[in-house]
Amino acid sequence: MFADWPLLSLLVWTPILGGLVVLLAGDHGGAQGAKRLALIFSIATFVLSIPLFTEFDTSTSAMQFVEKYSWISSFNINYHFGVDGISMPLIILTTFITVIVVLAGWEVIKVKPSQYMAAFLIMEGLMIAVFSALDAIFFYVFWEGMLIPMFIIIGVWGGPKRVYATIKFFIYTFIGSVFMLVAMIYMYYQSGSFNILDMHALKLTMDEQFWIFIAFLMAFAVKVPMWPVHTWLPDAHVEAPTGGSVVLAAIMLKIGGYGFIRFSLPITPDASHMLDWLVIFMSLTAVVYIGFVALVQNDMKKLVAYSSISHMGFVTLGLFIVFMIWENPANSDLSGATLAVEGAMIQMISHGFISAAMFLAIGVLYDRMHSRNISDYGGVVNSMPVFVGFAVFFAMANVGLPGTSGFVGEFMVILASFKANFWFALLAALTLIIGAAYTLWMVKRVYYGDVANDNVAKLEDLTPREFLIMSLLAIAVLVLGLWPAPVIDVMHASVDNLLHHIAVSKL
């Protein structure tokens, strides 16, 4: 019954219009009305995204739910939406996380709550549009437009150094993306169209591919973020309000990974092949070095932020290891490469849930104690047993405990890396140890041990609202960990198609 609906347009515009309605509702009477409206709109969007999954045809790699209208005729730019198995799960992740974020900000945000809720709803719409846009300029509009609400969120509701953090965030991302814009314009004059699928088919020389790849790398590496352009992330995370950190970690970083899959690999396969060592080097550095950096953090949010960078390293590793898998004469088929890319995808989704949960857990503590320093805590389990149950579960998922979603993605990527190069796999596998070290050490210092001070002793356990948020995320992590097959099925056809596409040189 949904086949005829402009489902993607609805998904994009419901939250954006909802955001405007919430904005108009204002902050009267403690903004209860605005908050309820925000919750209704976010749940409505989530419900609307479910048919995307149930009606999805897993047998084809073609774009589905396509909508295409002429938008700017002078430049042949189209209003062009469509999803495949790669973008669809990320859209559902977005709609799910936004509901969580609205709930998480319910009582916490005291300053202009209606603007806060509206900013998140508008951002949700923009992010869904980024994942479903099939026209390069259309994509770019949402990609950049997304920065504005995030800039405001960090700047208005953030911590003490919020201004520095938010300007750094904006300028870093902006620098990365404008060169991508020039690359897109260049390709427009080669192919006569901004359609991403036309760009996939566009023949490009090695020189052209090289520079286009670099332009895309600048945009996406900043967004992921990859070492060495990751420095904006810890600042942004630490200063952002909890909801901002959650969206940043759970969704915005995924847009970088998505960009690699949608643009870099299929448009410039030969340059990706030539420069895969660079991306793999950056990824492994992130996995290992940033892991060590996480180990020495005193601030919980910073620790999780670095852990995010480290985990996202797996995503880029999985995406770019495919060329080495093919080059390794021991492999006869594509299956190793499929494993790598699907592992990267699962890792993105799983990290979306886990990092969201980790930041929310820190938010729960911060709302009570107004401190994120590890040294201010200790023995929280004595006063908040239920909360610590959840927190330890998410910490284990972050470490990659089998049975949680964290395990699936990392395991697949490491397994695939073995097919490419033993040493890469070994380095990647090191993260299981380093990750365990920094996560569990934090768990030990914050949740267990003796009660650190009177404030900790006086902590109250989860409210029903917080319990609901935590349980939703825990279920998601557990389901994806125990039974990832439906998600893999969804993306399988698209990933196969992608790999067949990039296996053919464009030269």
Partner 1 sequence: MTLDALNISIAWPEIFLLSMTCLLLVVDVFLKQTQRNASYLIAQFTLLVTMVFIAVNMSGQRAEAFNGTFVVDPLADVLKLFICAVIAFVFVYSRDYLKDRNIFKGEFYVLGLFGVLGMMVMVSSNHMLSLYLGLELLSLSMYAMVAFNRDSGTSAEAAMKYFILGAIASGMLLYGISIIYGVTKSMSIPEIATSLLNQPAEMNIGLVFGLVFLIVGLSFKLGAVPFHMWVPDVYHGAPTTVTSYISSAPKIAGFAITIRVLVEGLGGLHSDWQGMLIILAVLSLAVGNIIAIAQTNLKRMLAYSTISHVGFILLGVLAGTKAGYSSAMFYILVYSVMALGGFGIILLLAKAGFESEELSDLKGLNQRSPWFAFMMLIFMFSMAGVPPTVGFWAKLSVLSAVVDINMLWLALVAVFFSIIGVYYYLRVVKIMYFDEPEDTSEIKNSTEMQIALSFNGLIILLLGVYPSALMSLCFSVFA
Asked if residues 361 and 394 have their Cβ atoms less than 8 Å apart, the reply is yes
| Coil, strand or helix at 261 | helix
DSSP state of 152: H
Element spanning 368, H or E: helix 335-369
Selected from 17, 39, 66, 156, the binder of partner 1 by CB under 8 A is: 156
Selected from 182, 206, 296, 468, the binder of partner 1 by CB under 8 A is: 182
Answer yes or no whether residue 71 interacts with partner 1 by CB under 8 A.
yes
Answer yes or no whether residue 219 interacts with partner 1 by CB under 8 A.
no
Between CA 113 and CA 105 the distance in angstroms is: 8
Answer yes or no whether residue 178 interacts with partner 1 by CB under 8 A.
yes
Selected from 137, 196, 303, 399, the binder of partner 1 by CB under 8 A is: 137
Please tell me whether the peptide bond between 225 and the residue prior to it is cis, using omega within 30 degrees of 0: yes
**Region from 181-189, 252-260, 481-489, 492-500 binding partner 1, contact rule CB under 8 A:** 181-189
By beta-carbon proximity to partner 1, the closer residue of 47 and 182 is 182
Selected from 41, 120, 170, 306, the binder of partner 1 by CB under 8 A is: 170
Between CA 108 and CA 149 the distance in angstroms is: 19
Beta-bridged to residue 67, according to DSSP, are 81
Answer yes or no whether residue 166 interacts with partner 1 by CB under 8 A.
yes
Answer yes or no whether residue 145 interacts with partner 1 by CB under 8 A.
yes
Selected from 163, 201, 296, 507, the binder of partner 1 by CB under 8 A is: 163
Selected from 20, 62, 72, 433, the binder of partner 1 by CB under 8 A is: 72
Nearest Cα neighbor of 123 from 232, 224, 45, 230 is: 45
By beta-carbon proximity to partner 1, the closer residue of 8 and 52 is 8
Nearest Cα neighbor of 92 from 119, 128, 145, 136 is: 128
Answer yes or no whether residue 21 interacts with partner 1 by CB under 8 A.
no
**Whole-number minimum distance, CB 492 to partner 1, in Å?**
34
CA-only gyration radius of the chain, Å: 22
What lies within 8 Å, CB to CB, of 94 at 6+ separation is 124, 127, 128, 131, 251
Between CA 131 and CA 331 the distance in angstroms is: 33
By beta-carbon proximity to partner 1, the closer residue of 140 and 323 is 140
**Whole-number minimum distance, CB 52 to partner 1, in Å?**
24
Length of the chain: 507
Task: Give the Cβ contact number of residue 1 at 10 Å.
Answer: 6
Between CA 48 and CA 74 the distance in angstroms is: 34
**Whole-number minimum distance, CB 74 to partner 1, in Å?**
5
Selected from 40, 44, 167, 429, the binder of partner 1 by CB under 8 A is: 167
By beta-carbon proximity to partner 1, the closer residue of 194 and 353 is 194
Q: How many residues bind partner 1 (CB under 8 A)?
A: 35
Selected from 174, 277, 423, 483, the binder of partner 1 by CB under 8 A is: 174
**Whole-number minimum distance, CB 144 to partner 1, in Å?**
5
Answer yes or no whether residue 369 interacts with partner 1 by CB under 8 A.
no
Nearest Cα neighbor of 340 from 226, 250, 222, 424 is: 424
By beta-carbon proximity to partner 1, the closer residue of 171 and 475 is 171
Single-letter residue type at 271 = A
Between CA 354 and CA 404 the distance in angstroms is: 9
Answer yes or no whether residue 148 interacts with partner 1 by CB under 8 A.
yes
Answer yes or no whether residue 73 interacts with partner 1 by CB under 8 A.
yes
Helix axes 136-145, 147-157, angle to 10 degrees: 10
**Whole-number minimum distance, CB 1 to partner 1, in Å?**
30
**The 3-state secondary structure of 171-217, one letter per residue:** HHHHHHHHHHHHHHHHHHHHHCCCEHHHHHHCCCCHHHHHHHHHHHH
Answer yes or no whether residue 162 interacts with partner 1 by CB under 8 A.
yes
| Coil, strand or helix at 379 | coil
Answer yes or no whether residue 66 interacts with partner 1 by CB under 8 A.
no
Q: Compose the 110-129 pattern: x for residues touching partner 1 by CB under 8 A, - for all others.
A: -----x--------------
Answer yes or no whether residue 67 interacts with partner 1 by CB under 8 A.
no
| Coil, strand or helix at 163 | helix
Between CA 301 and CA 288 the distance in angstroms is: 19
Answer yes or no whether residue 13 interacts with partner 1 by CB under 8 A.
no
DSSP state of 452: -
Selected from 15, 82, 155, 379, the binder of partner 1 by CB under 8 A is: 155
Answer yes or no whether residue 17 interacts with partner 1 by CB under 8 A.
no
**Whole-number minimum distance, CB 309 to partner 1, in Å?**
23
**Region from 73-81, 98-106, 246-254, 257-265 binding partner 1, contact rule CB under 8 A:** 73-81
Residue ranges in contact with partner 1 by CB under 8 A: 70-75, 115, 137, 140-142, 144-145, 147-148, 151-152, 155-156, 162-163, 166-167, 170-171, 174-175, 178-179, 181-182, 185-186, 188-189
